[in-house]
């Protein structure tokens, strides 16, 4: 019984991160490393550059970081490592 509880507790964080598990850069490297992806607010500036906002911080999203896949939940998501957006998925606009 105790072992089952421990296994459930250990599995919970991985399950929460599951939507990102298969995301890879165009070079085939994992985007999330088990902790770096989360929903983000995406917007463009006057020069049509894309930016992601997470936890009060704003990051430039290079075109090569945008994955050609649909969002798992309709929201935008970004994988950010050391201040650099490695992967991003642009969600559906909300009205």
Across the 95 residues of the chain, what is the mean pLDDT of every consecutive 10-residue run? 38 54 89 85 96 96 95 94 94 72
Structure tokens at 56: 């009060």
Residue 95 falls inside a structural domain: no
Is 33 among the domain residues? Answer: yes
What domain count does the chain have? 1
- 59 is in which domain, residue-wise? 2-89
Sheet holding 57-60, edge to edge: 41-44, 50-54, 57-60
Q: Indicate left, alpha or beta for 78 from its phi (over 0: left) and psi (-120 to 50: alpha).
A: beta
CB 19 within 8 A of CB 36: no
Query: Model pTM greater than 0.95?
Result: no
Residues ≥6 apart with Cβ < 8 Å to 71 = 77, 89, 90, 91, 92
Residue 23 lies in a domain: yes
Tell me whether residue 94 is in a domain: no
Position 52 in a domain: yes
């Amino acid at each position: 019984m105790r072992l089952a509880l421990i296994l459930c507790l250990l599995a919970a964080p991985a399950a929460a991160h599951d939507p990102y598990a298969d995301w890879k850069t165009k070079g085939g490297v994992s985007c999330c490393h088990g902790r770096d992806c989360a929903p983000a607010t995406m917007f463009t500036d006057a020069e049509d550059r894309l930016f992601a906002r997470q936890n009060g911080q704003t990051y430039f999203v290079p075109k090569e970081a945008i994955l050609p896949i649909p969002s798992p939940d309709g929201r935008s998501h970004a994988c950010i490592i050391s201040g650099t957006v490695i992967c991003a998925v642009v969600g559906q606009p909300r009205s």
